[in-house]
Amino acid sequence: MISTLGLYRPRDTPLHRAPAWLKVLLLIITTVVVLVTSDTVTSLGIMCAALLLLASTAPPLRVTMWTLVGTALIGLVSSTLFLWRGDYDRALDVTADLLTIVSLALAITTSTSMAEMLDFVAYAARPIRAVLPPETLGLMFALMLRALPEVARIYMESRQAARARGLDKSIRAVVFPTTTRTVGFALQLGQAIHARGIGEEFDASHEARDARDKKRTKKRTQASTRSRKAQQAPSRGTGPEGSEDIETRSSESTGEAMSTEEAFERLIAPRGKNDK
């Protein structure tokens, strides 16, 4: 299996020196331009420029050639309808557009380290920071790329193990161990991330916000408790519920602000026997 992941090689080329945001912007603009442009000569010109840009990053030859040949074949298959109609210009345009986009994507992969890409993803995700911390998104991106080859390795090992047991044609003998081992790998990886303290700096950056949230929540909780106490005051002493229970419930129902670490610890924390 040929993978374009991990193509990055540190070199001193103009594209290596360019910031990640500029390269991604170039890819987006070029993609829009080639999709809008239907002129074959222009498309071929842009394709040549993209190929030259890719060559300037000195990518690994074998992987690059296979990727480009595969893309050209996909382009030709996609253009079958145009070829059948005799619209050769359009067929050439579609194939050139595909090659342009893939060449630029490869050029970015070859010239941008994962750390740079991580920083870029974190930066680009800043507008949605209220929903998802940018650094968390960047880490998710890195973990996704990290998991792909690992899942492929687990699948290959499970297939070999099934063969060794004479279960060549059993889908279950491959799918079940692959699934359970993948989950096991994810758990191990999660523990390792936790142990390395990765992600906890994001909590630190949100410390001030958390403190504000906690202060507000505390005020709301106190107000809520006061109003409940006032409501239940006439029946106090006759019912089974004491004021302590009321306070406990009200703090739970207001959803007090919780850091990622607290949430994780609550998630994995052993529960008492009564919680089973």
Partner 1 sequence: MIEFKGASVVAPDTGVTILRPTTLTLAERHISIVGANGGGKSTLVRLINGLIPPTEGSVEVEGLNVAKHGAEVRRRVGFLFTDPSAQLIMPTAVEDVMLSLRRSVKNKDERTRAALAALEEMGLGERADVSVSALSGGQRQLLALAGVLAVTPSVLIADEPTTLLDLRWRAHVGALLRSLPVQLIEVTHDLDSASRAERTIVIDDGGIAFDGDPREAIQHYRDLMFGRAARQAPPE
Binding site for partner 1 (CB under 8 A): 5-6, 8-10, 113-115, 119, 142-143, 145-146, 149-150, 185, 188-189, 191-198, 200-201, 203-204, 261, 265, 268-273, 275-276
Closest CB to partner 1 among 8 and 24?
A: 8
15 close to 57: Cβ distance less than 8 angstroms: yes
Residue 9 beta carbon to partner 1: minimum distance, rounded to whole angstroms = 7
- Shortest distance (Å) from residue 188 CB to partner 1: 4
* Rounded-to-integer distance, Cα 242 and Cα 274, Å: 21
Nearer to partner 1, 114 or 246 (CB): 114
Cβ contact 44:99 at 8 Å: no
Q: At closest approach, how far in Å is the CB of 273 from partner 1? A: 5
Q: Smaller CB distance to partner 1: residue 22 or 32? A: 22
Closest approach of Cβ 109 to partner 1, in Å?
11
- Tell the smallest beta-carbon distance from residue 165 to partner 1 (Å): 24
Whose Cβ is closer to partner 1: residue 205's or residue 227's?
205
Q: Whole-angstrom Cα distance, residue 42 to residue 53?
A: 17
CB nearer partner 1, residue 194 or residue 229: 194
Q: Which is nearer to partner 1, 9 or 220 (CB)?
A: 9
Rounded CA-CA distance 73/33 in Å is: 22
Q: Which conformational region is residue 58 in: left (phi greater than 0), alpha (psi within -120 to 50 degrees), or beta?
A: left
Six-digit token string for 30? 């070029």
Helix runs in the chain, H state only: 14-17, 20-36, 40-56, 61-78, 80-85, 88-111, 114-124, 134-164, 172-196, 200-205, 207-232, 243-253, 260-268
Nearest approach in angstroms of CB 151 to partner 1 is 12
Closest CA relative to residue 222, chosen from 254, 185, 187: 254
Contact between 69 and 14 (Cβ < 8 Å): no
